[in-house]
């Protein structure tokens, strides 16, 4: 199948989600129906689906096979050096290959769609920049006011595949037509902060200064760094944004394959990003220094799966 945009609908609630297939399979719009009113959950620039704005600046960019930055746009793996594209204005690579490229739709229904990207099929030039071929397959399903994401990675190559996976959701603040973004409360259950140098983890950690279950007002947030020691309950990590004026709460839960979380304030401050990562940024430098980064390695023929669910009430 081939299409530019897919719109998912939940027939019972009237909720909708829109996915731009040609721009990274990005779910750039998720609008829930609450009390007969439309409530945008995700923030995106106008006309994102037509190429407006940065590919990583709206909706839910999919960051693969590396989330965040790689220093100097190069890394070493199993004795081989790999040169990436400089993309952050400071000489570093950022956010992988797939969020800027067209995917293929392989399954679709009224409330569900599955997209696939394979390096050797969809962008063969990637094979010069990465240690192995890869397949990433993502399924979005909309049920009621919940958007579920299922992320699968396969190694079709004869060589090991190192990778990291991250999602980069831009949650709208405030949640609803009224209210004050500064009063929204952010909850992320982390135990330590990765100390960053030049927007990449240095390997040092600092313990959290407040209780793990503490909520932080949006007005006091100014983030672009990673956090670890995530707390999981019943197999998932629960994060949330609460709007005390509208009474709405958006909850993002993700599976334990995601070992770190990046928090980010876009400069426009109309959204807040809670980004599940399977590894911290610049994992290859950390691994060389003997620091466990969360870097994943798939052997030939092996697969990996993780989930992220977003719900609003």
CA atoms within 13 A on the CB side of 284: 23
| Domain spans of the chain, in order of start | 5-176+268-312
Residue 269 burial by Cβ neighbours in a 10 Å radius (0-12, 13-18, 19+):
middle
| In the predicted structure, residue 73 carries a pLDDT above the cut 70 | yes
Question: Taking phi first (over 0 means left), then psi (-120 to 50 degrees means alpha), and beta for anything else, what does residue 280 get?
Answer: beta
pLDDT in tens, 214-229: 999 999 999 999 999 9
Nearest-Å Rg of the Cα atoms of the chain is 19
| In the predicted structure, residue 241 carries a pLDDT above the cut 70 | yes
What is the mean pLDDT of the segment spanning 242-265?
Answer: 97
Alpha carbon distance 177, 74 (integer Å): 45
What is the mean pLDDT of the segment spanning 251-271?
Answer: 97
pLDDT band at 155 (very low <50, low <70, confident <90, very high): very high
pLDDT band at 1 (very low <50, low <70, confident <90, very high): very low
pLDDT in tens, 158-168: 999 999 999 99
Q: How many other CB atoms sit within 10 Å of the CB of residue 166?
A: 27
What is the mean pLDDT of the segment spanning 230-234?
Answer: 96
CATH topology of domain 5-176+268-312: Beta-galactosidase; Chain A, domain 5 (2.70.98)
Q: What is the value of pTM for the model shown?
A: 0.97
Question: Nearest-CA neighbor of 227 among 253, 197, 263, 257?
Answer: 263
Give residue 35's pLDDT: 87
Chain mean pLDDT for the chain: 96
- 63 by DSSP, 3-state: which? strand
Give residue 51's pLDDT: 86
């Amino acid at each position: 199948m081939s299409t530019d945009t897919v719109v998912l609908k939940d027939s019972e609630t009237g909720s909708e989600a829109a996915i731009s297939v040609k721009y990274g399979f990005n779910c750039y719009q998720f609008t829930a129906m609450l009390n007969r009113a439309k409530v945008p959950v995700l923030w995106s620039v106008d006309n994102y689906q037509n190429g407006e704005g940065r590919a990583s600046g709206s909706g839910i960019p999919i960051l693969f096979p590396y989330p965040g930055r790689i220093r100097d746009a190069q890394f070493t793996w199993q004795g081989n050096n790999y040169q990436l594209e400089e993309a952050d204005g400071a000489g570093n690579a950022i956010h992988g290959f797939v969020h800027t490229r067209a995917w293929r739709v392989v399954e679709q229904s009224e409330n569900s769609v599955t997209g696939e990207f394979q390096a050797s099929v969809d962008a063969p030039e990637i094979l010069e920049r990465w240690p192995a071929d890869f397949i990433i397959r993502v399924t979005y399903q909309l049920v009621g006011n919940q958007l579920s994401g299922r992320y699968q990675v396969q190694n079709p190559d004869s060589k090991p595949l190192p990778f990291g996976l991250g999602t980069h959701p831009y949650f709208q603040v405030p949640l609803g037509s009224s209210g004050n973004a500064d009063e929204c409360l952010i909850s992320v259950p982390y135990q330590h902060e990765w100390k960053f140098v030049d927007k990449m983890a240095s390997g040092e950690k600092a313990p959290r200064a407040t209780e793990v279950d503490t909520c932080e007002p949006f007005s006091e947030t100014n983030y672009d760094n990673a956090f670890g020691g995530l707390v999981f309950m019943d197999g998932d990590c629960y994060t949330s944004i609460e709007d005390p004026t509208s009474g709405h709460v958006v909850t993002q839960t993700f599976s334990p394959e995601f070992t770190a979380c990046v928090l980010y304030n876009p400069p426009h401050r109309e959204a807040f990003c809670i980004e599940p990562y399977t590894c911290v940024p610049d994992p290859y430098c950390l691994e060389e220094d003997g620091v466990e980064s969360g870097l994943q390695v798939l052997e030939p023929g092996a697969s990996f799966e993780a989930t992220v669910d977003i719900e609003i009430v």
